[in-house]
Chains A and B, each alone.
Chain A
Amino acid sequence: MLLVGFYVPRQQQRSLIEFQRQELSVMAKTIARTMGIAAERDQLQDIPLYFRAIENQESIQFSALQFEGDDVFITSPPGIAADRFQPNDPLLVEVPFEGGAYRGTIYVKGSPSYSQLQLEKLTLPIQVALSLVLIAMVGLYLFLLTRVSRPLQSLRMTAETLRRGELDEPVDTRPRITEVRALNLALERLRSGLKEQRETNALLTQGMEREIRRQTKDLRKTLDELKDSRNLFGSVIESALDAVVLADGKSRIIEWNRKAELIFGWTREEAVGKTLGELIIPHAFREGHSKGMDHYHSTGHGPVLNKSFEIQALRKSGEVFDIELYITDVRVDNEIIFSSFIRDITEPKKLRVDLEQERTLSASLLNGLPLMVSLKNEDLQFTFVNDNACTVLDRTREELLGKEEREVFSEDWVEDSIALDRAGYEGKDVPMRERAFMVNGREEKYVIGRYQFSIGDDKPVRYLLTYGFNITQLKEIQAELETALKAKDEFLATVSHEIRTPLHSIIVLANLLNEEGREEEAEQFSQNIHTSSQHLLDLVNDILDFSKAEAGKLELAPSPMNLDEFLQNLDWVDSGQRKETVQFTKTLSGCEGLKVECDATRLNQVLNNLLSNAFKFTEQGEVRLTVECERKGNEAQLHWSIRDTGIGISDENRDLIKQAFHQAHTGIARQFGGTGLGLGIVVRILNLMDSDLHIDSELGKGSEFSFTLALPILQTETSTPVVEGIGEANPEGLRMLYVEDMLPNQMVMQAMCKPWNLDLTIADSGPSALELIGSQPFDLILMDIQMPGMDGIETLQRMKTLDIHLPQVHAFTAHAGNDDRTKYRQLGFDGVLTKPITPTELEEFLKTHVHARHNRN
């Protein structure tokens, strides 16, 4: 009621304010319109009419005018502060006005006291009405309280007392209201009936409680015993090292221990209640399992029961793995229970396979070794032998394993071998023994060694490893090397002899030449010195050629060769070595006018050697050179044969003499001289020419050396350009610089050049030569290569950096190979002269140089 009294005036007040606001708005719009029209028409006199009309209204507090763009509020009455113009004021109405050029806003503020006054007029009647209603309601409340509420409360209290079981207090049956009294009488009857029933129940309850307490005690005891038994059973199963799975007759899992969880991945909660087939039996075995169960149920027997076997199982991850399984059947309370004990054998099986593979690998490795390998235990019985050992010992593995050596072998070495094995097993330092075995009918030599080792940390087991190297080939190589060394020693002795012999002549005869009274013999001595020197030169050339051939650096330099001319020039061979008792004949067939491509120098060397040998070993009779030419298309087959009537070669020495350093026997060297290199060089040159040397000989009757060359025929006649006029060229006055550090060579050059009146200057070093060419002109320079300090190559390179006209520079060196010539030309030399050089060769060179120089000028 109070709320109504409070709410209604408030609502009324809001309505009044809204009404007042609308009224103000109408007034403001009227003013705004009036002001707009008046301002537009300059009729300001109309404004006050409306303005004054609202000024007298008690519902209006003030009004105001604000021009557009101005901050100032023009108020009526004047002096109203700006803060009175609150936008949220419900009694402040603002209306725009527009008149001509003037725009602005009209504000009209209603009087708050107006609405309050109106409200007060309404409040009093409402409050009076409400007071009357309140009084009526209080009266009604008091009536209901005394006549209805209190008797009902008494009834409720009585019912509540009965509900709580308080049945001793009787119910009051004297209320004045009839209906209430009837209710109380019914309650009293209910109370007395309940009380009687309660007393009967109490007696029954006491008897039952006694019986329950007795039975509960018995049951608790049984439960405790069962619990202990179950705990024991669970503990055993849970702590089992194997997975234990119990299943009923329908293969439904009823127990699943911790280990089973670990192995299969299923938790106990997941597994129990499931069948073995859907959980741990792989698909491949499920049908078999089902048949096995049917068989068991029909016969009472199972082939897999009560025995351990390996099979595969299924993990939760889907992996199929190997297990070892043991199944028993137990009948409990007339029901079959299968107990499965399962062991994961994945790792042991893998280890077994790995171990087997490792053993196989080790055995394969040992069997593959080119060694004889065996293992023996502490009783010195074979525990392992490799294939090589079986082969060498000529026994099978089965014959050896588990046996001692004396049980298998009866040879002399057995006892010595056992003694060494024993010493080796005990860790002593045992020497290696060389021992021969017959292997496949051939004697093989082995070096036997022994090595003791242990396996295991706690209880080490010792083994003896016996190994044998096959040293047969090494022995053969050693023998060959010893033979080769011996041959080389003989060769060195021979070479030494061959070198010393001409040197002896040269040295002695040179000394004799200086003695007085030897003038008549001087020419003979000089001739002898020349012959000895030439021999020495040939020897050195042979050694160098053989050395190159051995190093694989001997090369051919084929060039056009006129066969007629070549054979004609061979005549010089017999001039020096032919004996008067030996006749030399040449028979040529089919070679006329033939021109081929061949290294004439090397072919000449071959023939020279063979002819030289023929003359050397023939005392009388003849040496015959036969050349037969056969044309085959663009190729000429040249068959060469040198036949002599000399001492001949035995059959056993025929192939031997082809080898280096070999002569038929050392007596030959003493009798005939020579290094034994000649035939070796011949064989190697012929090999380079794709040919081979054939020897046909009979001891005491003579020999025939033959070979065939297949040479390309040159079709076009290419004539070697003939340089004319060289014979008239005169080296006299030629300004030649000879750079040479060796005094004897300087003297030789001076002696050779003396007859030609050369203007010869000698520099004994590279720096001296550089100084000389900077101070005077030269026409030709001969440069030694191997000089101390600055060698010939460096001297030439420095000469080329000088700002002078450099004449032709020729290398003058004892490095006489084709490779050397090419190398020196590439290094910038204009030509190469080889030491030693004869005066004739030097004169020829100088004349050629002078002639060429004259032609250039």
Chain B
Amino acid sequence: MMRWILINFLLMLTPMVWGQDAVAIAKDIGKVEWTKDDIQAVFLGERSTWPNGRGVVVVLPSSKSDSFEKTAQWAFETDGFEYQKYWLSQVFQGRANPPIYLEDEDAVMDFVENHPGSIGLLHQVQAPAELRLSLR
């Protein structure tokens, strides 16, 4: 409980845009030495497998949440509406598997913890160290 109070307090202090403070989280995906571009490609549906050959399951916060806007800014450098359109077209064309939408960041974190191969995006304050993907 104390930990969530602390996180929320820190979140209040952090700017609304993650910028360099966002980190990707994943679990049991082996050794990954990805750059930021690699991770952006995953969040754009352009890369669909981990280096170990396992499929990547993109987990996003609900398109109606603020976190979705931050994710869009980080991954697509645009607003959430355009990002969601992008995903609709990718799925329609069969170019990418559809992402999984969850209610908020907490749900994202819980889903990643419980589903190996999935990937989410959280603020570095919020992201547990054991789930963080380190960048090359």
Residues of A within 8 A of B (CB): 35, 38-39, 41-48, 51-52, 55, 63, 65, 67, 74-78, 100-102
- B91's partner among A47, A55, A77 (CB-CB below 8 A) is A47
- B85's partner among A52, A76, A102 (CB-CB below 8 A) is A102
Q: Is the CB of B91 within 8 A of A48?
A: yes
**A42-B62, A47-B98 are contacts. A76–B92 as well, Cβ < 8 Å?**
yes
- B84's partner among A39, A75, A77 (CB-CB below 8 A) is A39
**A44-B91, A76-B94 are contacts. A67–B101 as well, Cβ < 8 Å?**
no
Is B52 among interface residues, defined by CB-CB distance under 8 A? no
Q: What are the 4 closest A-B residue pairs judged by CB atoms, nearest first?
A: A42-B101, A44-B98, A74-B89, A45-B98
- Name the residue among A42, A52, A63, A102 with the largest chain B CB count within 10 angstroms: A42
Is B95 among interface residues, defined by CB-CB distance under 8 A? yes
Q: Is the CB of A35 within 8 A of B93?
A: no
Q: Which residues of B96-128 are within 8 A (CB) of A?
A: 97-101
CA distance A458 to B55 in the complex (A): 144
CB of A33, distance to nearest CB on chain B (Å)? 13
With a CB–CB cut-off of 8 A, which chain B residues contact A65?
88-89, 92-93
Q: Is the CB of A39 within 8 A of B88?
A: yes
| B 44-73 to A, binary, CB cutoff 8 A, 1 in contact else 0 | 000000000000000010111000000000
CB of B102, distance to nearest CB on chain A (Å)? 9
With a CB–CB cut-off of 8 A, which chain B residues contact A43?
98, 101
Could you show 13 A-B contacts with beta carbons less than 8 Å apart? A42-B101, A44-B101, A46-B98, A47-B92, A51-B92, A65-B93, A67-B85, A74-B93, A75-B93, A100-B63, A101-B81, A102-B84, A102-B88
Give 16 new A-B contacts, CB below 8 A, not counting A39-B84, A74-B93.
Answer: A35-B88, A38-B98, A39-B88, A41-B101, A43-B101, A44-B88, A44-B91, A45-B98, A45-B100, A47-B88, A48-B98, A65-B89, A65-B92, A76-B92, A100-B63, A102-B84
With a CB–CB cut-off of 8 A, which chain A residues contact B94?
48, 51-52, 55, 76
Is B87 among interface residues, defined by CB-CB distance under 8 A? yes
Q: Is the CB of B87 within 8 A of A44?
A: yes
- Name the residue among B64, B85, B92, B98 with the largest chain A CB count within 10 angstroms: B92
With a CB–CB cut-off of 8 A, which chain B residues contact A35?
88, 92
Residues of B within 8 A of A (CB): 60, 62-64, 81, 84-85, 87-89, 91-95, 97-101
With a CB–CB cut-off of 8 A, which chain A residues contact B92?
35, 47, 51, 63, 65, 74, 76
With a CB–CB cut-off of 8 A, which chain A residues contact B64?
42
CB of A262, distance to nearest CB on chain B (Å)? 102
Q: Which residue of A lies closest to B89 (CB)?
A: A74
CA distance A802 to B106 in the complex (A): 129
CA distance A39 to B85 in the complex (A): 9
- Name the residue among B93, B95, B98, B100 with the largest chain A CB count within 10 angstroms: B93
With a CB–CB cut-off of 8 A, which chain B residues contact A38?
98
CA distance A47 to B97 in the complex (A): 10
CA distance A47 to B98 in the complex (A): 8
CA distance A74 to B85 in the complex (A): 11
Q: Is the CB of A44 within 8 A of B93?
A: no
CB of B62, distance to nearest CB on chain A (Å)? 6
CA distance A764 to B23 in the complex (A): 144
CA distance A67 to B92 in the complex (A): 12
CA distance A45 to B98 in the complex (A): 5
Q: Which residue of B lies closest to A31 (CB)?
A: B92
Q: Which residue of A lies closest to B99 (CB)?
A: A44
With a CB–CB cut-off of 8 A, which chain A residues contact B101?
41-44
With a CB–CB cut-off of 8 A, which chain A residues contact B98?
38, 43-48
CA distance A75 to B62 in the complex (A): 26
CB of A107, distance to nearest CB on chain B (Å)? 11
Q: Is the CB of B93 within 8 A of A76?
A: yes
CA distance A111 to B100 in the complex (A): 34
With a CB–CB cut-off of 8 A, which chain A residues contact B95?
78
CA distance A43 to B102 in the complex (A): 10
Q: Is the CB of B62 within 8 A of A45?
A: no
CB of B63, distance to nearest CB on chain A (Å)? 5
CA distance A147 to B97 in the complex (A): 81
**A42-B101, A45-B100, A101-B81 are contacts. A78–B91 as well, Cβ < 8 Å?**
no
Q: Which residue of B lies closest to A77 (CB)?
A: B93
CA distance A47 to B94 in the complex (A): 9
CA distance A830 to B123 in the complex (A): 134
CA distance A75 to B90 in the complex (A): 10
Q: Is the CB of A45 within 8 A of B93?
A: no
Q: Which residue of A lies closest to B60 (CB)?
A: A42
With a CB–CB cut-off of 8 A, which chain B residues contact A48?
91, 94, 97-98
CA distance A63 to B62 in the complex (A): 28
CA distance A65 to B94 in the complex (A): 12
Q: Which residue of A lies closest to B98 (CB)?
A: A44
CB of B23, distance to nearest CB on chain A (Å)? 23
CA distance A41 to B99 in the complex (A): 12
With a CB–CB cut-off of 8 A, which chain A residues contact B99?
44
CA distance A658 to B38 in the complex (A): 164
Q: Which residue of A lies closest to B88 (CB)?
A: A39
CA distance A67 to B83 in the complex (A): 13
CA distance A45 to B94 in the complex (A): 11
CA distance A78 to B87 in the complex (A): 15
- B97's partner among A45, A51, A67, A76 (CB-CB below 8 A) is A45
Q: Is the CB of A78 within 8 A of B93?
A: yes
CB of B43, distance to nearest CB on chain A (Å)? 14
CA distance A77 to B99 in the complex (A): 20
CB of B105, distance to nearest CB on chain A (Å)? 15
With a CB–CB cut-off of 8 A, which chain B residues contact A46?
98
CB of B15, distance to nearest CB on chain A (Å)? 26
CA distance A228 to B101 in the complex (A): 125
- Name the residue among B60, B64, B89, B98 with the largest chain A CB count within 10 angstroms: B89
Q: Which residue of B lies closest to A39 (CB)?
A: B88
Q: Which residue of B lies closest to A63 (CB)?
A: B92
CA distance A685 to B81 in the complex (A): 137
CB of A185, distance to nearest CB on chain B (Å)? 91
Q: Which residue of A lies closest to B95 (CB)?
A: A78
CA distance A48 to B89 in the complex (A): 11
CA distance A47 to B87 in the complex (A): 11
With a CB–CB cut-off of 8 A, which chain B residues contact A63?
92
With a CB–CB cut-off of 8 A, which chain A residues contact B81?
101
With a CB–CB cut-off of 8 A, which chain B residues contact A76?
92-94
CA distance A63 to B91 in the complex (A): 13
CB of A96, distance to nearest CB on chain B (Å)? 14
CA distance A47 to B93 in the complex (A): 10
CB of A115, distance to nearest CB on chain B (Å)? 25
With a CB–CB cut-off of 8 A, which chain B residues contact A52?
94
CA distance A549 to B84 in the complex (A): 138
CA distance A76 to B91 in the complex (A): 10
CB of A109, distance to nearest CB on chain B (Å)? 14
With a CB–CB cut-off of 8 A, which chain A residues contact B84?
39, 101-102
Q: Which residue of B lies closest to A47 (CB)?
A: B91
CB of A63, distance to nearest CB on chain B (Å)? 8
CA distance A44 to B63 in the complex (A): 11
CA distance A545 to B87 in the complex (A): 144
With a CB–CB cut-off of 8 A, which chain B residues contact A74?
89, 92-93
CB of A353, distance to nearest CB on chain B (Å)? 115
CB of A810, distance to nearest CB on chain B (Å)? 125
With a CB–CB cut-off of 8 A, which chain A residues contact B85?
67, 102
CA distance A39 to B90 in the complex (A): 12
Q: Which residue of A lies closest to B102 (CB)?
A: A42
